[in-house]
Amino acid sequence: MRASQDQLIRPRGRRRALAVGLLAVALTLTSACTDSDGGGKPSSWQGGGQSEAPKAAATISEPAADAKDVPASTGITFTTKDATKTAVELKDAGGKAVEGTLAADGKSWVPVGALDYGTSYTATVTATGDDGRPATATSTFTTMAKPSNQVRVSSFLGDNQVVGVGMPLIVKFSRAIPESYRDDVQRRMTVKSTPAQEGIWHWVSPTEVRYRPKTFWKADSKVSYRVQAGGLPMGDGWFGRADLSVDVKIGPSLVMTVDDKTKRMTVTRNGSVIKTIPVSLGKKSTPSSSGTMVVIEKLRKTVFDTMEELGPEEGYRTKIDYAQRLTWGGEFIHAAPWSEGQQGTTNVSHGCVNVSMANGAWLFNNTRVGDPITVKGTIRKLQNGNGWTDWNMSWDQYVKGSALPYEPAADPDAAATPGATGSTPTPTPTA
């Protein structure tokens, strides 16, 4: 016979008391060992009940909602709370999405290029928490009209150029960048290399910034650098004219070392000595500079003319073959057939590295712009700024020229996220 409902839930006498006692024990064991649905999985309890996962939240701080005249370079700055996943979306008034990248710190997002001038955009930040429920924040803003005051950004190097392992990346601005704006500019300057190499930007002057790795570029590297300057505020009502992107290649590691004591140049390629060349350096009255330089330009044939600078008594006008500039002050590697008898034994030049015609031709045919040369043992020290002297500074010295604190990148392949003025002078050469 089937028991009644009353018999199941209301036992009488000792049987009732025993049943209640067993039920209490069972409930105690259940609350200690299983979750509330009896599934047998451990659970967190607080005050006798299960705590709820915190809800995620998102807030956009820049650009503010309904902001006008926003620079076309703007990024999206935001904060999130209790978020395990964050997504950022930017669309124009027509619903077209803008591509961009999230910063490594997860607090900002930057479009891949300048936004259109005088255009409305809507930014949406979505934060998702442990509970899987998204929280969103939106900001609709309008970019500024195209400014009349624009700063041109240019690169010394061009796409697909092959350069030496000592070549700094050189970016110039058509107008001086105030010191208080350089950190913002540098944040929009990135360098990527394959293989990955650590490096930093260094402000040579208010109109020029350079980048070098911690050690010479690795042979045969591929390097790309980008300046997202379009619409970027650059001080005093001036804005970047356009973005700049350059891809270059690094050649073999050809390194030249000159020792005044031996009057010899040692040339290595990828770490192996391939040639030793007798040289004549600057005589006592016009010594060569000791320090690390790089080849700035190569001239198969040129004329060194110092008549205007030194006058008819001291000056000279001489045809030169296989000239490779090392300093703005006029120091070159070049062929000097007139001093071949002294090369390897005596210094007779006006500060240049003299080599024979045959060795001058060999060097000219094997070097590239950006190949480094170190001269040792002369009485004159190379002055920083007299040429591309980026490698004449220690790494610690070079870092001091950055507008941003140096932080070794966790991913060196995205290492960059920090004198003359706009044009390079061409002083009188020496021989």
Measure the CA–CA gap between 182 and 112, rounded to whole angstroms: 20
pLDDT tens digits along 267-295:
999 999 999 999 999 999 999 999 999 99
pLDDT value of residue 317: 79
- Could you give the residue range(s) of every CATH 2.60.40.3710 domain in the chain? 150-250
pLDDT value of residue 310: 66
pLDDT band at 408 (very low <50, low <70, confident <90, very high): confident
Q: Which residue do the tokens 């003299």 mark?
A: 354
pLDDT tens digits along 101-110:
998 778 899 9
pLDDT at 198 over 70: yes
**What is the CATH code of the structural domain delimited by 254-389?**
2.40.440.10
pLDDT at 14 over 50: no
pLDDT value of residue 116: 97
- Tell which wins on pLDDT, 139 or 1: 139
- Tell which wins on pLDDT, 229 or 423: 229
Q: From the CA atom positions of the chain, what is the Rg in Å?
A: 34
pLDDT value of residue 376: 98
- Could you give the residue range(s) of every CATH 2.40.440.10 domain in the chain? 254-389
* b/e map 293-311, b = 16+ CB within 10 Å: bbbbebbeebebebeeeee
pLDDT band at 192 (very low <50, low <70, confident <90, very high): very high
Residue 264, amino acid: R
Name the pairing type of β-strands 297-305 and 134-142.
unpaired
Measure the CA–CA gap between 81 and 18, rounded to whole angstroms: 52
pLDDT value of residue 187: 93
pLDDT band at 173 (very low <50, low <70, confident <90, very high): very high
The mean pLDDT of 138-158, rounded to a whole number, is 98
pLDDT value of residue 106: 84
pLDDT tens digits along 118-129:
999 999 999 999
pLDDT band at 51 (very low <50, low <70, confident <90, very high): low
pLDDT at 46 over 50: no
pLDDT at 144 over 70: yes
Q: What value, to the nearest 5°, has the Cα angle with vertex 396 and ends 191 and 192?
A: 10
* b/e map 183-196, b = 16+ CB within 10 Å: ebbbbbbbbbbeee
- Could you give the residue range(s) of every CATH 2.60.40.3780 domain in the chain? 57-142
pLDDT value of residue 231: 97
pLDDT value of residue 44: 35
pLDDT band at 307 (very low <50, low <70, confident <90, very high): low
Residue 238, amino acid: W
Domain 150-250 class in CATH: mainly beta
pLDDT band at 247 (very low <50, low <70, confident <90, very high): very high
Q: Which residue do the tokens 């290649």 mark?
A: 249
Residues 177, 396 contacting (CB under 8 angstroms): no
Who's near 418: CB < 8 A, 6+ residues apart? Answer: 182, 183, 186, 189, 200, 201, 202, 203, 209, 401, 402, 403, 404
Question: Both tokens of residue 213?
Answer: 């790795």
pLDDT at 419 over 90: no
Enumerate the active-site residues: 334, 352
pLDDT value of residue 36: 41
**What is the CATH code of the structural domain delimited by 57-142?**
2.60.40.3780
Q: What is the pTM of this model?
A: 0.80
